[in-house]
Structure 1
Amino acid sequence: MDFQRRTDRLLLRRWLDTDREPFARLNADAEVMRFFPAPLSRFDSDALAARADALFDQHGFGLWALERLDTGAFIGFTGLAPMPEGVPGSGGVEVGWRLAMSAWGHGFATEAATAALRFGFDALGLAEVNSITALVNSPSRRVMERLGMRPSVEFDHPRLPPGSPLRRHVRYVLTATGTVPNAAP
């Protein structure tokens, strides 16, 4: 299966070794990582890139590296991944993204995630796609809403400690028919 996708401004592709350095810079940026427990070390960033790409071989979908068509610059990732265990929607598929700050405010996350959703619904035949984020992450929540996703349920993320301002999460859902399913996990 050809996993590569194009939008008007972006190439969604498998990961290259040359993506690792800019990805490590992105993951070390405190502002980019403000809605995550902590910035990532180079080792952890490289491991995340390897896992993101391996998803394609394991599941037939994954997290694409994002490249701007006009400059060829790597700007982050978007795509589909299995939902984490222990959260509402576990066992399903989620759409996610992480972009370098220089790529914020240009609509790239929405554009790329729209392509990922099309792939999920059209090529994979998914019935629904989830997305989760910290309740306080209003930028990602706005992207989810622009994608047509709607909040389904709030929950405490099991991997975050009590008292963490990031622990309270929200699950957004979009079905292939565009309806929001029940709030049950």
Structure 2
Amino acid sequence: MIETARVTLRPWRDDDIEPFAAICSDPEVMAHLGGPPSYAEVEAMIERQHVVQAAQGHCFWAVERRDDGALLGFCGLRIGGHAGTPVSDELEIGWRLARHAWGQGYAREAAIASIAWGWAHTDRHRIVAWTVPANTASWGLMRRIGMTAAPMLDFNHPGFPVGHPLGRHIVYAIDRPARD
């Protein structure tokens, strides 16, 4: 669907469930996301991506390494974050990669391609991303791809009680480039 020098972003397939479940079973991968999900929760997450893709024309796509076809995780775009928050109707970019793929530029490459796709295929004036303040790798990537802090959109995640270490979320945004 989207090809870069080293990765392909594509719709999810049934044979992605097992490798993605393995990625999500890594406590370090899930440290800022509430911990490893069950296999059934991974299946449901992939099914939600099918639904989002059908409804919106995009989702958090599977990221596959081109040279060997290995599933590295996901990256992509979706509309609608958490109801009742300032990001509920925003176009979000998100990613999650296997720990063995960290630090090699795959997430940056996939994120830049996703943002370019978003500008080419949506009419949104900005793309946002969010994470917890402790997830320095994630917000560091947000900065490296040109996003800037958008504190007016920061929110408390409705899935965590107030004061929980994963409750407060910081938001970064990138505006659509000016058209010539």
Q: Give the % identical residues.
A: 38
Q: Is 1:47–2:44 an aligned residue pair?
A: yes
Q: Is 1:120–2:118 an aligned residue pair?
A: yes
- Describe how 1:30-109 pairs up with structure 2 within 5 A: 30-82=27-79, 83-109=81-107
C-alpha separation between the residues in 1 aligned to 2:51 and 2:87? 22
Q: SS at the partner of 1:37?
A: coil
Q: Is 1:160–2:156 an aligned residue pair?
A: no
Residue number in structure 2 paired with 1:138 = 136
Flag structure 1 segments of 5+ consecutive residues without an equivalent: 179-185
Q: Is 1:8–2:5 an aligned residue pair?
A: yes
TM-score of the pair, normalised by structure 2: 0.93
Residue number in structure 2 paired with 1:110 = 108
Letter in 2 for 1:69: R
Flag structure 2 segments of 5+ consecutive residues without an equivalent: none
C-alpha separation between the residues in 1 aligned to 2:143 and 2:83? 24
Residue number in structure 2 paired with 1:172 = 172
C-alpha separation between the residues in 2 aligned to 1:120 and 1:84? 20
TM-score of the pair, normalised by structure 1: 0.90
**In the alignment, is the contact (CA less than 8 A) between 1:129 and 1:175 conserved in 2?**
yes
| CA displacement 1:63-106 (0-9 Å, x = unmatched) | 11010011110010000012222222221110000001111011
Q: SS at the partner of 1:170?
A: strand
Deviation at 1:61, TM superposition (A): 1.3
- Over the aligned positions, Cα root-mean-square deviation in angstroms equals 1.2
**In the alignment, is the contact (CA less than 8 A) between 2:82 and 2:157 conserved in 1?**
no
Q: SS at the partner of 1:76?
A: strand
C-alpha separation between the residues in 1 aligned to 2:94 and 2:145? 12
Count residues with an aligned counterpart. 175
C-alpha separation between the residues in 2 aligned to 1:53 and 1:78? 14
C-alpha separation between the residues in 2 aligned to 1:108 and 1:167? 27
C-alpha separation between the residues in 2 aligned to 1:45 and 1:161? 23
Deviation at 1:155, TM superposition (A): 2.9
**In the alignment, is the contact (CA less than 8 A) between 2:75 and 2:110 conserved in 1?**
yes
Structure 1 segments of 4+ aligned residues over 4 angstroms from their partners: none
